[in-house]
Structure 1
Amino acid sequence: MSDNAARGRMYGSELMPWAVVLVFGGFLVLFGGVWLGGTLGAAVTGSGWHPPEFSLASFGTLLTEGPGRLWPGASPVGVVAGIVLLFGAVIALCVVAVRKVMSYISRPKGLAGLRELAALAPAGIAARARDLRPSLKGRKELHPDETGNLLGDLSPNGPELRSSFEDVELDLMAPRAGKSTGIAVPRVLRAQGAVLLTSNKSDVYAVTRAEREKAGRVWTFDPQGIAHAPREMWWDILADCHTIEGARRLAGHFVASVNDDQSKKDFWISAAQNTLTALFLAAARGKASVLDLLAWLADPADRTPVDLLRDVNMIAMAEQLQGTVRGAVETRDGIYETARQCVACLLDPEIVAWVTPDPHLAQFKPHDHVLGRDTLYLLSKDGGGSAAGVIAGLADATMRAGVVAAERMGGRLDPPMTAVLDEAANVCRISDLPDLYSHFGSRGINVVTLLQSYRQGSRVWGEAGMDAMWSAATVKLLGAGLDDADFVEKISKLVGNHDVRTPSISKSKEGTSRSYSYRLDPVLPADRIRALPKGTALLLATGVRPALIRLRPWYKEPDAGTISAAAKAETAAITERAARSWSGGPPQAAESSASRWQREAVTLRKPYGG
């Protein structure tokens, strides 16, 4: 006899007792179900509770003579219906149990469960909201959106999870992984206070505009025609430049729009920022216009900005600017040319019109915006000629206005302000955003920065800056399509390892022995993180083990039909405006009157009111 045959006989002898038990158990379950179901069916149909003898003979009688012998006087239909319904209920319960067991088994071991995420679950986040928002105290019932920002549902079948109003968020996902549909749109739609959104596309704008109009006024800052929105507002770009800090911040935004790495500023970039700071300060203090500032840049020999600084007793700044002007011609021209490149977008009359005072249009005032429920859309293109510096300046001014308002309220905005910085690395390069992250959270300003990858952020803010933003973000979502091998490997290590038990079976003539060994495996290997399905994300929250969540796209929510209809109407309007623009059709009435006023009232070197 061969070894295989001997081994087969040994296995068969070992399995035989289990086969007998399995057959007997199956028979017991079958007959028990028939016995109980038939008795219940007979009782329900009016024959009373008269169960037959629970024996093999009863089962044989049922098979040979039918249910009438076991349940005399009972309706055969009722008996059969009782048996069918009982087995159906048992099968349904088994299916539910199997699904729950399979979902538990399929969930990666080592990730956070509901118990560990209790602070983000509905009850925990509601209690946190009452502590953070004085306006909610005393109210028994709270709408879920009043308690926190929706993150998604705990995978696979957990409850919804929300971040608190003091959390700041950093989300990394590849294109088409759900950043807009699962994060940006829901945040804007569900926001309780003022909203700020930056983007280089019109999709979020089209979906959310109609709904946000129900909450408050919608301000659309679209200098490059992303949504082809008519110009119905203007922002005083020099409003915050009356101080050196404000002027330097605005200059930094324009410099950041052309400098790919804020950690690597060469001489020309730094000198250009200093020069722009002086010119912005001179224009603001001297009540000059942006067009005057451009004229000063075009003619470094113009002493007007120096004189304006001296007139307002900014002597040191005036001397510094004069020193630059009187320096070596090659150095001076290099500094001024770099500065001109930084503000080149303002040479476009379509862009500069949005930041030039216009008595025919409403003025956007950040300090008023943060106190209400209005919405500000900041739209700009990527690449050369973009208005990224202007967008970053307005976004920064609005968020800093929120900080001032929070300080006046006792430290925190109520209701909180929502700032969704979509495509932040392309259209909203606020150079010190990593340093402001934790500060914004403590002021009730919920900042959500959306990036395509960690490396994209490093190119803008440098490795140190991106590390600072990563550390300051109290909530991080990592979605599908992260292809940076080094970063994904770091995340795998951050998620951690878990023990994996490996059985080892030994067989001999004496019998079978089983032993177990343990090894450490990653909870989520790098390849599994990279292959996360679309619509899911890895949640990293401060003080909690990582968890997998399912995003909640806006189009799967109960009110998606109404929102979708409004989005289609807005998209059609954008298409119509775009066609009219491309065909050279007539401009909007407000645009036309504003342009006429600008041509009549704005002249180079002539301050407003002069």
Structure 2
Amino acid sequence: MAGNDDDDVYTLFFGIGLLVALLGGAGSFLTWLAGQLSGVIAGGGWPDSDPTDCLRIAFRFVSHPSDPRSAWPPAAAAALGSAPVFFTLLIIFLTVTAVGTYFLVRLFLNVRRRRTVRRFRLGYASGWEVRKLLSARTVQNKAWQVRPSTQGQKVRTIKPEEVGFYLGRDIRSRRKLYASTEDMAIFISAPRQGKDVHFVTPFTIDAPGPVIVTSSRRETFVNTAMIRAQYGEVYVFDPWNWTGWPNRMRWSPLQGCADPNVCAVRSGTLVEASGFSIGREGGIVLSGVITIIRCLLHAGAIGGVNFREVMRWIYEANGEEALEILRQGEREGRTAPGYTGQLEFNMRDERLWSGVMQVMHAFSHPPVLEDCSPDPGEEFDFAKFLKGRNTLYFVAKRQPDWGGIAPVVTTILEQYFRSARGVAMKNPTGRLDPPLTFELNQVADVFVSGGLPTYMGESGGYSISVHVYLTSLAEARAKWGADRTAALLDNATMKIISGGAGTIKDISDLSDLVGKHDGQQILSPEELRTMRFGRAVVVAGTARPVEMWLTPWWKRKDREAIVRGKEAVEAMIRQMNAPAAPAVPPGAPPADPPPAAPPQDDPPPDAPPTDTRPTDTRPTDDPPARPSDTRPSDTRPSDDPSADQRATVRTATDERAADQRATARTATDERATDQRAAARTAGHERAADERVTARTAGHERAADERVTARTAADRRAADESADAGGTAPATSAADDDESIVW
């Protein structure tokens, strides 16, 4: 509030007291009037009472509401009608007064007398403006234009959700607010201020045609996937498999690149989305990088190779195969003019290959490369996607891991923007029907196209809705610069702003965007920053700003269906991440019980070996031992004790040799696996497999030879030891066991 705080408090209390007095006086008068008219209706005439008695009558009536006659003076009470007649008249009077007061208040709000209280403030759109520019009737009147298939239907029978999106409810007029499918909208909302629950999720569910959704989290997918699956096909571009959805979208950068125009756009998009610019790299380097990428994509498309082969060319910095394909295509008339010479000239510069590798690094992550290398017939059919109420989700990481995949998503969406416009231009009306919707959530992290302001300006005429979600204006300036950000705001027919944190400059700019009246800001920066959760301000077209209540998805009529679908998707994700139980083949015998624990007298298997050195026989000063102390430990007869020892030693030696061989092979396999993975990541898949296979075979042979030699030596040493000590008396069973273990 403006002005002195004490004055504002006094004004508030005075207003409350005045309101109570007015309501009390009006209620007292209506009570008196109902009693007077009840006497006339009952035939007793007009009771002997005047309006000055209304306060005393109302007080007595409240004290004894069951006996209205006791409230009137004795002279007038006899003329009153019955209690049912009195109460019927009182209810009618109160209802009429309440309805009349409601319309008077609405009229008062439309007039908008200037007050410090925001709801009564001058400068916001009136109820008449809302009805004319943002109501359900407004989007219904545009139905024949935005959806030609509705022509011939009565406008009032077309649901607003078929041709528009529900935004919220005006706080002042309480009218529902709608945006048409041809309206471009920008949503500026700080993190955790509800843009997903108030806009992205409801808009995705209500989209009347195909919808493409981008996000760095899977929240929107979890909330909407099952609902959208009831209307059409649901596809997911999710290289990291966060969603576990089986219907994956697979796309190849070579798609359509037989057309040189497509090659030019795609190579330029990849370079721009990777952060290359003339100011940093220079014009020569930048143009050379674009040229090499364009020629490689064109060669891969006309040569019919998989995208993996193109990536191999790039990481080997060798364009000879691509050059040969272009030459062959040139002889057959399939290569674009000049591409062969351009590639041959630029591929000699190693600096350009470094730039090409950096640009295409977004495809180096194996899951990304897998989704971008479909076999023939597995590519996503975008033309078929546009014909139904289908859904495509892009779930991408926000942090720059492996360079990030924003260039990949940006390139795909660039193609789909252009393809959608091409399909619309082939229709007689020049529009898509059903309309296409882009829900570009976290757009600065996923879709960093410099052409976004242009798409915002011209997509509405093709019945393509573009909804862009930003956390702040600073985020947009960092990605597109000040000029492109200004163009982005200018081309948006709707700007929706919610509360939250922000820089002083951004909040001041948004406050100025809302507008001023008589030199004063309609919504001050402080009021904009402290706006409560569930509220937003919409600045739409020529209408004055509207402050609205928002509806989260859990307050929608179909919330139960959304909750069921959400639980189903969460259960699918939990099942996907649950550890898999070991498979048991049918008819297999039950698992063997665990081995019994060894007796306490025996040493554990992994106990360190005891000292088995021969006893020292040098003379000492100690007295000789008693005969009972020197008796043999084992007096059982044996046919050939040296043979038993030899067999036992050989068994232990064989086990030790087997363990060494298995350990050597395991280490070799792990090294081979690491080398193969590194080689594949670098793009040298075939050469790496051959080298690693040869190395693996050599290591295995060398390991086997070393282990075999050691085994033979151990056996010979064991035989010699057993032959030499076969007649010696055994010391103890424990000592024999320890010697064998050693």
Q: Which one-letter code corresponds to 1:325 in the other structure?
A: M
Counterpart of 1:437 in 2: which secondary structure?
helix
Establish whether residue 110 from structure 1 lines up as the match of residue 127 from structure 2: no
Q: Work out whether residues 495 and 539 of structure 2, in 8 Å CA contact, stay in contact via their aligned partners in 1.
A: yes
Measured in 2, the distance between the counterparts of 1:111 and 1:37 equals: 41
Superposed CA deviations along residues 262-313 of structure 1, whole A, max 9, x for unmatched, are 9876555554333222221221121122111111111223411122223333
Q: 2:352 aligns with which of 313, 316, 335?
A: 335
Distance 1:415 1:70, change over 3 A: same
Give runs of aligned pairs for residues 99-178 of structure 1, distance below 5 A.
106-107=118-119, 108-117=121-130, 118-140=132-154, 141-178=157-194
Establish whether residue 577 from structure 1 lines up as the match of residue 576 from structure 2: yes
Partner of 2:206: 190
Establish whether residue 300 from structure 1 lines up as the match of residue 317 from structure 2: yes
Matched residues, percent identical? Answer: 25
Shift of residue 604, structure 1, vs aligned partner: 6.3
Partner of 1:234: 250
Q: Work out whether residues 270 and 407 of structure 2, in 8 Å CA contact, stay in contact via their aligned partners in 1.
A: yes
Superposed CA deviations along residues 99-131 of structure 1, whole A, max 9, x for unmatched, are 756896532321222323312212222112223
Q: Work out whether residues 480 and 533 of structure 1, in 8 Å CA contact, stay in contact via their aligned partners in 2.
A: yes
Partner of 1:533: 532
Partner of 1:484: 503
Q: 1:70 aligns with which of 76, 82, 91?
A: 76
Measured in 1, the distance between the counterparts of 2:297 and 2:22 equals: 87
Measured in 1, the distance between the counterparts of 2:362 and 2:77 equals: 91
Distance 1:566 1:278, change over 3 A: same
Measured in 1, the distance between the counterparts of 2:321 and 2:551 equals: 56
Q: Work out whether residues 288 and 605 of structure 1, in 8 Å CA contact, stay in contact via their aligned partners in 2.
A: no
Partner of 2:32: 35
Q: Work out whether residues 170 and 546 of structure 2, in 8 Å CA contact, stay in contact via their aligned partners in 1.
A: yes
Superposed CA deviations along residues 37-85 of structure 1, whole A, max 9, x for unmatched, are 22455688xx357431343797799779655753548676447745864
Establish whether residue 407 from structure 1 lines up as the match of residue 425 from structure 2: yes
Counterpart of 2:338 in 1: which secondary structure?
helix
Q: Work out whether residues 186 and 469 of structure 2, in 8 Å CA contact, stay in contact via their aligned partners in 1.
A: yes
Partner of 1:589: none
Establish whether residue 445 from structure 1 lines up as the match of residue 464 from structure 2: yes
Q: Work out whether residues 291 and 604 of structure 1, in 8 Å CA contact, stay in contact via their aligned partners in 2.
A: no
Q: Which one-letter code corresponds to 1:556 in the other structure?
A: K
Q: Work out whether residues 231 and 354 of structure 1, in 8 Å CA contact, stay in contact via their aligned partners in 2.
A: no
Shift of residue 605, structure 1, vs aligned partner: 8.8
Distance 1:37 1:320, change over 3 A: same
Give runs of aligned pairs for residues 586-597 of structure 1, distance below 5 A.
none
Give runs of aligned pairs for residues 371-520 of structure 1, distance below 5 A.
371-382=387-398, 383-385=400-402, 386-410=404-428, 411-481=430-500, 483-499=502-518, 520=519
Q: Work out whether residues 235 and 247 of structure 2, in 8 Å CA contact, stay in contact via their aligned partners in 1.
A: no
Superposed CA deviations along residues 499-546 of structure 1, whole A, max 9, x for unmatched, are 3xxxxxxxxxxxxxxxxxxxx322222222222222222222223333
Superposed CA deviations along residues 419-440 of structure 1, whole A, max 9, x for unmatched, are 1111111112223222222221
Deviates further, 26-35 or 183-192: 26-35
Q: Which one-letter code corresponds to 2:76 in the other structure?
A: L
Q: Work out whether residues 437 and 465 of structure 2, in 8 Å CA contact, stay in contact via their aligned partners in 1.
A: yes
Measured in 2, the distance between the counterparts of 1:474 and 1:263 equals: 33
Q: Work out whether residues 234 and 247 of structure 2, in 8 Å CA contact, stay in contact via their aligned partners in 1.
A: no
Which of the pair is proportionally richer in strand?
1
Q: Which one-letter code corresponds to 1:290 in the other structure?
A: F
Greater CA radius of gyration, 1 or 2? 2
Q: Work out whether residues 111 and 547 of structure 1, in 8 Å CA contact, stay in contact via their aligned partners in 2.
A: yes
Distance 1:65 1:137, change over 3 A: closer
Distance 1:127 1:576, change over 3 A: same
Measured in 1, the distance between the counterparts of 2:247 and 2:176 equals: 40
Shift of residue 258, structure 1, vs aligned partner: 3.2
Q: Work out whether residues 388 and 428 of structure 1, in 8 Å CA contact, stay in contact via their aligned partners in 2.
A: yes
Distance 1:91 1:447, change over 3 A: same
Superposed CA deviations along residues 469-494 of structure 1, whole A, max 9, x for unmatched, are 22211222122225132233233333
Give runs of aligned pairs for residues 544-583 of structure 1, distance below 5 A.
544-580=543-579
Q: Work out whether residues 61 and 69 of structure 1, in 8 Å CA contact, stay in contact via their aligned partners in 2.
A: no
Partner of 1:592: none
Shift of residue 343, structure 1, vs aligned partner: 2.1
Measured in 2, the distance between the counterparts of 1:227 and 1:263 equals: 40
Superposed CA deviations along residues 424-473 of structure 1, whole A, max 9, x for unmatched, are 11112223222222221111111111111122122222222222222211
Partner of 1:593: none
Shift of residue 584, structure 1, vs aligned partner: 10
Q: Work out whether residues 482 and 530 of structure 1, in 8 Å CA contact, stay in contact via their aligned partners in 2.
A: yes
Shift of residue 142, structure 1, vs aligned partner: 0.7
Establish whether residue 310 from structure 1 lines up as the match of residue 327 from structure 2: yes
Shift of residue 345, structure 1, vs aligned partner: 3.2
In structure 1, stretches of 5+ residues that fail to align are 1-20, 500-519, 587-598
Establish whether residue 53 from structure 1 lines up as the match of residue 48 from structure 2: yes
Measured in 2, the distance between the counterparts of 1:391 and 1:54 equals: 82
Distance 1:391 1:56, change over 3 A: closer
Deviates further, 202-211 or 142-151: 142-151
Establish whether residue 345 from structure 1 lines up as the match of residue 362 from structure 2: yes
Counterpart of 1:343 in 2: which secondary structure?
helix
Measured in 2, the distance between the counterparts of 1:23 and 1:391 equals: 61
Distance 1:290 1:66, change over 3 A: closer
Distance 1:307 1:182, change over 3 A: same
Measured in 1, the distance between the counterparts of 2:411 and 2:100 equals: 60
Q: Which one-letter code corresponds to 2:344 in the other structure?
A: Q
Partner of 1:11: none
Counterpart of 1:236 in 2: which secondary structure?
coil
Q: Which one-letter code corresponds to 2:362 in the other structure?
A: C
Q: Work out whether residues 35 and 52 of structure 1, in 8 Å CA contact, stay in contact via their aligned partners in 2.
A: no
Measured in 2, the distance between the counterparts of 1:48 and 1:121 equals: 51
Q: TM-score, normalised by structure 1?
A: 0.79
Q: 2:346 aligns with which of 315, 320, 324?
A: 324
Measured in 2, the distance between the counterparts of 1:396 and 1:476 equals: 23
Deviates further, 383-392 or 558-567: 383-392
Q: Which one-letter code corresponds to 2:46 in the other structure?
A: P
Partner of 1:502: none
Q: Work out whether residues 41 and 79 of structure 1, in 8 Å CA contact, stay in contact via their aligned partners in 2.
A: yes
Q: Which one-letter code corresponds to 1:352 in the other structure?
A: L
Q: Work out whether residues 493 and 540 of structure 2, in 8 Å CA contact, stay in contact via their aligned partners in 1.
A: yes
Shift of residue 556, structure 1, vs aligned partner: 1.4
Measured in 1, the distance between the counterparts of 2:278 and 2:102 equals: 55
Shift of residue 347, structure 1, vs aligned partner: 2.1
Superposed CA deviations along residues 127-183 of structure 1, whole A, max 9, x for unmatched, are 122233221122121111123222222233431222222222222111112221111
Give runs of aligned pairs for residues 207-246 of structure 1, distance below 5 A.
207-230=223-246, 232-246=248-262
- After superposition, the CA RMSD in angstroms is 3.7
Q: Work out whether residues 267 and 294 of structure 2, in 8 Å CA contact, stay in contact via their aligned partners in 1.
A: yes
Partner of 1:356: 373
Deviates further, 132-141 or 182-191: 132-141
Partner of 1:17: none
Superposed CA deviations along residues 332-385 of structure 1, whole A, max 9, x for unmatched, are 2x33223222222322222222122246x8541112211222111111112223
Deviates further, 220-229 or 63-72: 63-72
